[in-house]
Structure formats: structure tokens, C-alpha cells
Structure 1
Amino acid sequence: MSYIVIDYLMRPTLRQLEYIVTVARLGRFGLAAETLNVSQPSLSAQIAEAERELGARLFERSRASVQPTATGTEVIRRAQNILREVEDLRAAVSGGVPFGGRLRLGVLPSIGPYLLPRVVAAIHRAQPDLRVIVREESTQHLEQGLTAGRLDLIISTPEDHPNTRQTRLFNEKLWVAVARDDPLSQATGPVRAESLSGRIFLTLDRRHRLSRIVYALASDCGGIVSDEYEGTSLDSIRLMAASGAGIAIMPELYAMQHKDRKTEVAIRPLAIAAANRNISLLQRASDSDPTGLDLISGALLSEVKSLGLS
């Protein structure tokens, strides 16, 4: 009688794949070791063993940083997929909690506080054991986080994330905020392009899609984007507009929070064709639809409808 001996020990191991992905995400062995709660020598040894098993060098190391090799980039991508599949497997056998019990959701800071509170509450009611971890980041950092596997899903402007699967949420119009003594504050209707000629526009820094939209609007209207001030938040831009430093361009969700308040600015809608942006729920193109995606998109679309967006 003959026997076939099967080695059930997968190499590299899942733990080693987790180490590889974490080092790639953080770019430093020391920081990765701290995040993983292991010693740096142990982390280095495990990755060296994985490299021996795979027969390829995965990282180029320097004093300043760690960069994946060409082979390492492919290994990291596949490792991210394997780890996500394992999370889905665990969810399937542990009561069906989606995203392995933890959804890492990235969102634009100009969207998150005004769209997500009731969405997160609805998700919690439907899946009490699912933790929703929200990260507010710039467009650029959302792209990096989704690509690296640091984020499971993101809510952002779809044109900035071409290699994704996209669920459209809504089209958001843009508004203008001006100081109370500004001539534009004397009316309440939509503001047209000719009224903005020669004006100074205020916006976020250039890592944000909103900044690029504002630059295009300024060009179309004959205005100028301020080279003396770049805001880090919509609140800071609004306050600068209140001081008379320029006009602030605001997304609709934010503007709706302030338009009926007796604040230091007057807020009016823009009647300009390009004064809008599309917002979508995005996932990696290489991913199959994760368990729970319908729950997340459904909660978001329900909130969008309640807010009167389309």
C-alpha cells in the first residue's frame, strides 16, 4: 500500500502575508513591527523566510524607507486578495458578519460628517457585530489606501480612481460663501459665472478633487484662485471668506448645514454647468463583491434620498 504525504502547512503563511502587506503599507519595518505588536528582528526574519520560500526579493531596504520590488508589488497585491478572502471565510462561518467584522471605510472630509452619521447608525442596527472604522482623507490618500488594501471601500469622486468598481451615489452641486458685506450677499438666488469675474477663490489644498474643480471654475469665470491661502478644512475656508479674503466654494452637503443659519457668511447656489461633482462608493476592480456590500450601498443610497440628493 502506498501513501501520499501532503504538507498542509502553507508557505508563506498567512501571518507572513500579513507582515508583508503591513510593511508595504507603512513603508518602514520599525513602524510595521510596532503596529503588528512584534519585535522588529522577528518581523524581518519572517519576511526573509517568506522571500526564501518564494525565491524572490520582495523589498528594497534603505535607511530612509522600504520599497517593494517589481516582484514584491505583485506578491503584495495577491497577498491582499488572499487576506481579504480569509476575512470573508471567517465572516461566513461566524454568523455571517460581513467584512470579517470590520469595515475600513475611507471618505472625503467634505462628505463624511454630513453623510455618514445616520448611515453608520443604520448599518449598526442591521449588523450590530460589524465595526465601521471611518477614515477621512484627501482624494490622493484615499486612492493610496484603497490600492494598498488599507481601506476596504471608499466614498470619493470616481474620476480620481479609475481602476475601481463604482456604485454611483449622487451628483453634488457647489455653492458659494461670501462675507456679509460682500455685494453677492444682497441676493438669494443662484450666482452666475459673470458675477464671479475678477474675484479671488478660496479652496482646499491640491490633494483634493474639490481644489481642481475650483481652479477650473475660476478659469471659466475669469477669477483667480488665492495663492496666499489653502484651507485644510471647509470650516477654515468659510471663516476666511467671512473675513473678506475671497469667496469660498462649498459642496452642497456642507452648504445645506449652514445656509439657513445666521452665520458670518451668506451662502448661495452656483448656476454654472461645471459647478458640481459626482460621488460614488468605490471598491478595487480586482475584488469580488464582498459580503455586505449591498448593506453598505443600500444604507448610503437611502440617506442620499432622504437628503434630497440625486
Structure 2
Amino acid sequence: MSALFWRILGTNGLIFVIGVAALALTPLTVSSRILLSEFVVLALGLTLMVAANALLLRVSLAPLAGLTTLMARMDSLRSGDRLATTPNRDLFRLVDQFNAMLDRLEADRSISTAVVLDAQEAERRRIAQELHDEIGQSLTVVLLELKSVVSRAPEEVAEDLRGVQEVVRSSLDEVRRVAHRLRPGVLDDLGLTSALTSLAGDFSETHGPRVTRRVQTGLEGLGADAELVIYRIAQEGLTNVWRHSGARNAELSLQQEKDGTVVLRVVDDGSGPPKEAGAGIRGMQERAMLIGAQLTIGPAEGGGTEVRLVIPPRGSRPAPGRPAK
């Protein structure tokens, strides 16, 4: 900013010196009652000074307009948005410091988000394990005991006990489904393709929309972090279709392009995209940010909603806990 100050001061001083020199070294004078010719000269000098100052300020302060626009559109869940450094050196330090501040804020947020999501996954794993080992085994013991009691009970009581058996069996199945959604063992054991296929099948069996699967096999260069992000976003996307869209059909697709980019799509024929982002959508955005992926949620062709996640090739993705550039 000091450079800008001296440029403005120097420009005004130069114009003043030129005016004084013109009065001192040339026949130009200013009468006590100003003449028309003298008024024209003074008007031209004033116009020149104003024009020079206007041009200087417009060129020098131009980066501030871009800075204001960037600040207005900044989104904490969209990384990599920066103000380009221009040849104008008056405000280059301000622009560089602003971009550096955004880098630090995004790095801190990305690290914090990674820690929170890691803790969330650990808690999901713990709860799923307890559901399976504690509640699941307890319900299994209850079923075995009921089976033994039913075999010895009078017929009029046995019929009621069979009804209790069905309730317990349904509860056991539900506990297993919840544990599976919390931490899908198939993702760890069989990989992303099998996990997504199983996920789509689970939603199709819940009397919700019919889910069509188009999942490519043999995906390369994803890594465990990206696979988990893809699975969780697909899971949240299908959950939103089931709960909110009123759709009859949905499509889950995962394809890899020639350059290594992986594209996940969850498309439905329901009521259209939400007007406001809820906790589920913000969670998807945070997960996408961690791996430098681009997440868009908008209208699908022909109506409904499309959730689209674009994961760049592994070499161009940030390390976990660092912001995308």
C-alpha cells in the first residue's frame, strides 16, 4: 500500500510542478479577472489531473474488485478458489497474503474434518461390533431358548411363542442390517465394487425405489480413503432418495474414464434437488473435500435429482488431511 501512496503523491506533485513551470517559464498568466483563454488552460489542467488520478487509482485498485468478488462467493466447503496474481504490484502483497490465509484456513479445516470423520468411522466400527457381538448374540440366544420352550409348550401357548420368535428374528435381522450399514464388512473384505452392489441391493429390498446398478469393475488408483468416501456418499445419496425424493426408480453408477478420473452418480426420478443443504449433504461435501473431489447436486435430465462425484486421478489428489488445490 505504501507504493500506491507514493505513486498517487508523485503523480499529483508532477502535475503541480508542470503547472507552476508553465506559469513561470511561459507567457501564460492568470489575470485578476480571469480571461476565457486562461479559464480554458486551467480547466484543461484540472481535467488532466483528475483523469490521471482516476486512471492511476482504477488500475492500482483493480485487484480489490476481484478480492471483494472472491470474498462474496467463498464457500468453506469448496477449496482451491483463489485470486490470481496480476502484474499490478501495488496490491500484490495483499493478494498473496489473502491467498496464503485461505490456504491456512483450508488446511486447518481439512485436518479438523479428517480427524472428525476418522473418529466417526472408528465410532461406527465400535458400535457395529457391539451390535454384532453383544445384541446380536443375545438375540440369538433368545431365539434358541424360545425354540426349546416352543417344543415343550402346550399348543395354545406355543402359537403365541412362535409369534414372539418372529418378532425376535425380525429384530435380529434389523440389528444385523444396522451393523452392516454402520461398517460394511464387504467393503473391507471384497472391495468397493461388491460393497456398492450390496448397498444397492439392500435399498432395493426396503420397499423403496428400484435401484439399477452400473458399477465398473477393476477400478485403479483409488486407495482406501477414496473408496470409503465413494461408499459413504453413495450410501447417503441412496438414503436421501429413499427418505425424501418419492422416487420410483434410481440408478447407482461408478465409472472410470481413460485419464483415471472416477465418476460416481446417484440419479433418481423423484421430486428434484433439495432447496437447502441439510446435514447429510454437508457431510457429503466435507468428505468430497478431503480427497479433492468435486461434488455437485442438481436436477437430473428428465426430472429428479443427480448426485455427481468426480474423483481426479490419484496423482492429482491431495494427501488426506490437506486441502485440494
Instruction: Choose between structure 1 and 2: higher strand proportion.
Output: 1
Q: Which has the higher helix share?
A: 2
**Greater length-normalized contact order (CA 8 Å, ≥ 6 residues apart):** 1
Query: Shorter-chain-normalised TM-score: which range?
Result: under 0.3
Larger Cα Rg: Structure 1 or Structure 2?
Answer: 2
TM-score normalised to structure 2 length: 0.21
